[in-house]
Amino acid sequence: MPSQQSIKAGDRTIKLNTWQFIGNEWKEAVGKSTFGIENPSTGEEVIQVSEGKAEDVDIAVKTARKTFKDPAYKEMNPTDRSAILQKLADLMQENFDDLVALEMLDTGKTHKQCSNLDVPASIGTLRYYAGWADKVLGLSSFNIPKTFAYTKREPVGVCGQIIPWNFPLLMFTWKIAPAFACGNTVVIKSAEATPLSALYMCDLIVKAGFPAGSINLITGYGKNAGAAIASHMDVNKVAFTGSTVTGRSILKAAASSNLKKVTLELGGKRNIIFPDADLKKAIEWSIWGINMNFGQTCHAGTRIYVHEDVYDEFLELYTARMKKMVVGDNFDKNNTQGPQNSKMQYEKILGYIDSGKSDGATVHLGGNAIKGKDGSKGYFIEPTIFTNVTANMKIMREEIFGPVVAIAKFKTEEEVIEMANDTTYGLAAGVHTKDYERAIRVTSALEAGTTWVNMYNFVHWSIPFGGYKESGIGRECGEAALENYTEVKAVYFNMGMRAP
Ligand code: NAD
């Protein structure tokens, strides 16, 4: 299989390199094996890409290490790194429509979401960290008698980065931008279901002028390529976004190899509607809470707690809105809900729907797999609402990662805080109320890394993002991400102190 192939994405035909991207070159995987990528709206294979395994990871890490040690790279002016990140953002803007089309083809997302959110937010992330590149500074101290001390922030080294399939392009930029801004080198692995936008980005990376070896991409499976990054003895840090189960295995691999630094972004979600909320707006945000990427969002608002005084009205209006979803091929702009990302994901969601049914929850709406509106065969699931749910049900405790909400009633503020915090997850939570004192009180009491008041599912690259409890370790986005990609070095100078 040649590296460069043509791929049809909607009405565009795009040239795409499909081998491993190492040292600014396309290299065939050592084992020469390949794997297929599906269009989730049709279930049909659209392209084969090269399968990187442990030996390819090793080559990529050696390349990244060589670049990291290169004095020319070490001494690169941070303003030049900033300019390269800006240049990459410019190239993404120039190739906006290709990126939208590839992301739609790979993930099943709507045109509206990719063009309003995924691609612009990815560009915004690059520009934001371009701004940080020459502002990563240390502190100085004359506070200790007869001593002068300063700190400097040095890059960590070779960063291994493992990303999921639900936001392939955005996660790619969340990972590479702060790492490169701080002067690290990167070996990133895309998710096996969604490597296309990352592959496309690598050609832009060359054009933007990234030094060879600074960003390297492996396309392959988690069990070998991903695991090889996590256990590699010469990777200094792993940044992972994905499931809690995989997150645990990455921590174990880091612990039993070289104790590399680990940051984890995992899952979790809940949304609370108080009786004084502007119900119409709360419903629109709650719909977005589940319709964004059709529930395949780590902070999807799948557990909705509604105060008993407004429960009936909320349920009626919310159901009417969910019924308006038009499910079908995501390249048809009239459709508002596309397919789930893969067969595996689709079957997993249907399994959760079955468990809700057998645990005794009421299927208030949907609850089935369906064909798309146009009869297409992809991985479509009806927008689904469960009511009469209890805290111990699997659909309340685990991530469904599909267009499925469970709506429960509550009586008091204290009770709903207990209910919302009764989870091992702590990524995000929403509160809908006009009472701002209550908003501050409840957001303070919620065990979550991101909380929203009168909105839901809004994340900006300039604000830290990450989870409490089993939803993760560390924060991405904002200034906080720079801590993940730098080591602080303290330097003491003796200014007249005698040895004790
Ligand atoms: P996953 O954990 O199965 O896979 C994520 C990535 O890890 C993929 O690239 C995969 O190839 C790799 N991987 C799998 N097994 C591995 C192993 N043993 N060692 C190393 N790498 C391995 O998760 P997924 O199904 O792809 O993604 C969905 C999950 O991700 C959801 O649970 C969701 O909540 C979470 N998520 C979290 C965030 C966040 O920012 N917190 C964002 C997106 C997704």
Residues 6+ apart with CB under 8 A from 288: 456, 457
Q: pLDDT tens, 13-70?
A: 999 999 999 999 999 999 999 999 999 999 999 999 999 999 999 999 999 999 999 9
452 CA → ligand 1 middle, Å: 24
Residue 474's closest CA among 303, 150, 179, 240? 240
Q: Give residue 266's pLDDT.
A: 87
**In sequence order, what are the beta bridge partners of 218?**
189
CB 300 near ligand 1, within 6 Å: no
Q: pLDDT tens, 212-268?
A: 999 999 999 999 999 999 999 999 999 999 998 999 999 999 999 999 999 999 877
192 CA → ligand 1 middle, Å: 10
Q: pLDDT tens, 393-417?
A: 999 999 999 999 999 999 999 999 9
Q: Give residue 376's pLDDT.
A: 75
Residues 6+ apart with CB under 8 A from 371: 377, 380
CB 202 near ligand 1, within 6 Å: no
Where does residue 106 rank: exposed (0-12), middle (13-18), buried (19+ CB within 10 A)?
buried
The predicted complex's ipTM stands at 0.93
441 CA → ligand 1 middle, Å: 33
Type of residue at 51: E
- Give the mean pLDDT of the chain: 96
CA 347 to chain CA centroid, Å, is 21
Beta strands in 312-465 (DSSP E): 362-365, 369-370, 380-381, 384-387, 404-410, 425-426, 428-432, 450-453
Residue 180's closest CA among 209, 150, 152? 209
From the candidates 114, 159, 202, 298, give the one annotated as an active-site residue: 298
CB 243 near ligand 1, within 6 Å: yes
9 CA → ligand 1 middle, Å: 25
Ligand 1 atom 35, closest CA: 242
Q: Give residue 373's pLDDT.
A: 67
CB 239 near ligand 1, within 6 Å: no
**In sequence order, what are the beta bridge partners of 273?**
306, 432
Residue 370 vs residues 17, 336, 374, 375, 494: alpha-carbon distances, Å: 34, 15, 11, 9, 73
Work out which ligand 1 atom sits closest to the CA atom of 247: 2
Residue 406's closest CA among 232, 276, 289, 285? 289
Cβ(305)–Cβ(272) below 8 Å: yes
Percentage of the chain beyond pLDDT 70 is: 100
Residue 41 vs residues 97, 102, 325, 369: alpha-carbon distances, Å: 19, 13, 16, 13
CB 162 near ligand 1, within 6 Å: yes
Q: Give residue 361's pLDDT.
A: 97
Structure tokens at 38: 């599906």
Residue 124's closest CA among 158, 81, 174, 75? 174
Cβ(452)–Cβ(431) below 8 Å: yes
Q: How confident is the model at residue 377 (pLDDT cuts 50, 70, 90)?
A: confident
Cβ(22)–Cβ(216) below 8 Å: yes
**pLDDT over threshold 90, residue 333:** yes
**In sequence order, what are the beta bridge partners of 373?**
none
Q: pLDDT tens, 82-130?
A: 999 999 999 999 999 999 999 999 999 999 999 999 999 999 999 999 9
Q: pLDDT tens, 147-179?
A: 999 999 999 999 999 999 999 999 999 999 999
- Annotated active-site residue 298? The verdict is yes
163 CA → ligand 1 middle, Å: 6
- Annotated active-site residue 479? The verdict is no
CB 266 near ligand 1, within 6 Å: yes
Residues 6+ apart with CB under 8 A from 148: 140, 141, 142, 492, 493, 495
**pLDDT over threshold 70, residue 286:** yes
**pLDDT over threshold 90, residue 269:** no
Q: pLDDT tens, 412-465?
A: 999 999 999 999 999 999 999 999 999 999 999 999 999 999 999 999 999 999
pTM of the model: 0.96
Cβ(227)–Cβ(57) below 8 Å: no
| Residue ranges in 209-278 assigned as alpha helix (H) | 227-231, 244-256
Ligand 1 atom 40, closest CA: 265
**DSSP string for 41-72:** TTTEEEEEEE---HHHHHHHHHHHHHHHH-HH
